[in-house]
Structure 1
Amino acid sequence: MSIGNANSPEEERPSTDDRSEDRIVERSVEGPSIGTALKKARIVAGLTVDEVSSTTRVRIPIVHAIEDDDFTRCGGDVYARGHIRTLARAVGLDPEPLVEAYDAAHGGRPAPTPAAPMFEAERIRERQRPNWTAAMVAAIVAVIGFVGFTAFSGGDENGKRPVAEGTASPKPAPKQAGKPAASPTPKAPKPEPSDSAIAAAPKDLVTVVLTADTGESWISAKDHNGRLLFDGTLAQGESKTFTDKESIDLVLGDAGAVSLFVNGKEIKDTFQAGQVERLTYTKDDPRQGQAQAG
């Protein structure tokens, strides 16, 4: 008498539907990498790497490296997050999930610095900055004083000898009748100090001064013809000045680390750390600037 197979191989073998469901779950959990997601979205959008680089101002080798999940060429976590945001927006993706994935894979986002120490550090920097306006005025006054002293104490053709200490001063010669007394040389008026040493920028040019105050930042600057004036990293404490007769186009890799003066006036936009900004300024600025998404 045969006994039915209670546990036949066919019953022990998982069904085809169960196996396919397991594969779908595993794929959805893993998901594509950051570089793969950006590359697929770029291809779907019909864009080449050159077109993405031209639109975002992110250099071609860096775009290739990010699409290969190599972030070592970005120059640090702050720049990597900024590039991810910029490339994601260019290919039509939401950048925040990609940035969160980057933070999760690289130790998380650093804790924000408390506001009070930041303001205190800013006050210390303000006190430490040299007052060039006061120094210029002091130098001009010293030169004027020296010239005036030389004019009044200059000797005649025979020269004046210094009077020895303790002796009587020589009496001035009596005035000759019919000759008017010589009038003293008028002193030159003291110059009025300007609001800022940068305010002396020529009005017929666009003058932009960038200073990396709180950290280093990659910057790019072009004139109105699109000619590249500078493309590189501005170290902390370093400044760059750009001029053009019509306009200056800027790209700031970390706008929160840079202070900006346009035509002698400070631009007080509240840029965040790691924020990429694209700005254009003309001779009529300062205005708030044409800030684009970064």
Structure 2
Amino acid sequence: MISSSIVGRTAGQSEVVATLRRVQAYAAVLGAIKDCYTNDLTSEVVAPPPFAVCLEWPVVSGWWSELGDFSSPEEALGSVHVLQDSRFHALIKQGQSLRTTGRIAAVRQTRAGAYVALKLETVDAVTAQPMVSSWWGGIFLNTSVDGDDRCEEESPLLRPDAEVPAGFDRITLPIQRLYPHLYSECSQIWNPIHTEKSFAKQNRLDDIILHGSATWALTAQKLIDFYADGDPGRLARIAVRFKAPVIPGLPITIEHTSDSPDGREVAFAVRNASGNLALTHGIAEFR
């Protein structure tokens, strides 16, 4: 059970050093091979922008131990990522110390369970320079809310349409069956719903599912390549809702288009192998 009285409370804090090992591991699992991510001899190595979720995970995965009322840790882990909206203020560099804090922004009851929204801020731990601002939304399956729905602050608007306007381009991306294991280790984002079939079935899923953040991050890197000539510093924002699951071992298809004259605003969606929308209302903004 989750009480709506936690809205407005601090969701915790985490400090992480973006070591070269962590940055390169995350770049590798996304297939990001440009020198800016991999070559520490000729340039200052930076993290792919979606690396932000690795910094946010300790807060996202830890707040419920103090603020939630779950019968077991496994019950809390039976959550589904349904919203990710990140704005990138500066590139994260190898060796940088980073502090991430969170606040509970909303709690409400849904048919599937308790929805919780967190507002997350990541800054340089030494200079306090803003690095990333994110909204995270998750549904704790089969969990009830104690009290009335509460919202301190609404998350920013996404695109009104779930799908992409006609005339879009497509990118098909294969997903290896064991990819969730690789992503779990390289991101240090672990939840057995992505790697253990028995746990997935306990949560009414037919199979393990790919991390939502993995689908989001893989899509972000492809859009950076397509619309920003591979320059990660040009990505200002990427936001989606997560809908249908992605089953590892089957491909995904990224549908994307830009109707802005300068190509700086991109509409996108992602379909799973069954043709169902896995990521919806997608918007990417470039500098």
Measured against the shorter chain, the TM-score band is under 0.3
Whose Rg is larger? 1
* TM-score when normalising by structure 1: 0.24
More strand by share: 2
More helix by percentage? 1
- TM-score for the superposition, normalised by structure 2: 0.24
